[in-house]
Chains A and B, each alone.
Chain A
Amino acid sequence: MVTYLDLINAMVRRETAILGREKVGKIVAKAGLSIGEDGKVAVPKGMEKQKLEELARSFYEECGDITLIGCRILVNRLAREGNLKLPDILKF
């Protein structure tokens, strides 16, 4: 079953390919999160949906529309699989 944490990790992986590790690391840290050695983000339980929105907003604010264009289809597909509601910033 797809979870919000899966969405966060998919988005971070995608943004890393677009923006590079360094930039993404800074944005993730700004949201109070960190990326582990396995490339996955640790998120406090219950905060996943909120952090997904925060991260999407930060990617957009730091690096513009390309970040959202580049991950929307991926995130929407996963959300559909998991029957998860997305924050407006990630919707089409």
Chain B
Amino acid sequence: MRMKYEEPIEIAENTYWVGHYDEEAGFHCNPYLIDDGEEAVLIDPGGITHYPHVLKKVIRAVDLDRIHHIILHHQDPDLCASTPRYEELINHEVTVYNPLRASFFIPYYGIKSRVVPIRRDGEALVLKSGRRLEFYLTPFVHFAGSMVTYDTRSKVLFSSDIFGAFSFDWSLYARDDYLEAVKAFLEPYVGSKKALENVARKLEQLDIEVIAPQHGSIITDNIPEFIQALREMDAGVYLE
């Protein structure tokens, strides 16, 4: 059965995929939204081209004025560029969370919100409900300033580019051969095996039920195997 990609799709309790499915594209972006009652958190809202589609879904899921926090896992345009548009529409200040090393670059998008630079593993955004979103730095996977977010309540890992994939034959949830598609994406975009091993070591410490990457498909099965695969993957400068 085809999923209703025109609507926000709940991937965990009160956690939504709000991306745009472009049937012609070989590369898909996955913004997410956590609706935590009084506060909502927008995660990697996306680029300009997908903005009208994403906005429509965000509005269907929550009142925009409930968005108080925006998480930007690194500095690339496909996840950051629409942030100023949301700032214009939200009638109060929002706070942006971004890895320290990326935080010097995001003002160039015209982002005016207060930016909280994430400096260390385990720093967290604690929502009014007590829900804790923990940040883990993932340097050089793929950008020097990169991180992931772990929702301690839903056990969803918002993994940014890690476990992203190229996929012409896209589906929201990963199919059997998804790991091969992940390799196709990570091998040419990550600089070294050491950087991947470092990420694997960190992720192995977390109790993850769902991996929600910023590209490609959501992973719910065989999560330890996916993390182990990071240790075995070839990467970037390996052969060049």
Chain A positions within 8 Å of B, measured between CB atoms, are 13-14, 16-23, 63-64, 66, 69-74, 76-77, 80, 92
Contact = CB atoms under 8 A, between A and B. Distances in A.
B180 interface: yes
Interface residues of B, number: 23
A76 B188 CA distance: 12
B239 A17 contact: no
A48 B44 CA distance: 44
Given A13-B180, A14-B183, A92-B239, A66 B166 contact: yes
B183 A74 contact: yes
B150 interface: no
Contacts of B26: 18-19, 63-64, 66
A65 to B, nearest CB: 9
Nearest to B177: A17
B240 to A, nearest CB: 5
Contacts of A76: 239
Given A14-B180, A14-B184, A77 B166 contact: no
Contact of B238 (A17, A20, A73): A73
Contact of A70 (B177, B184, B235, B239): B184
Contacts of B239: 73, 76-77, 80, 92
B168 A18 contact: yes
Interface string B65-81: 00000000000000000
Interface string B223-240: 000000000001110111
The A interface, classified by DSSP as helix, strand, loop or mixed, is helix
A64 B166 CA distance: 12
Contact of A69 (B181, B188, B235): B188
Contacts of B180: 13-14, 16-17
B188 A63 contact: no
Residue among B27, B179, B181, B240 with most chain A CB within 10 A:
B181
Nearest to A24: B169
20 contacts: A13-B177, A14-B184, A17-B178, A17-B179, A18-B169, A18-B184, A21-B169, A22-B169, A69-B166, A70-B184, A70-B187, A71-B184, A72-B188, A73-B236, A73-B238, A74-B187, A77-B234, A77-B239, A92-B239, A92-B240
Interface in B181-202: 181, 183-185, 187-188
Interface string B19-33: 000000011000000
A66 B234 contact: no
Contacts of A69: 166, 184, 188
Contacts of B165: 17-18
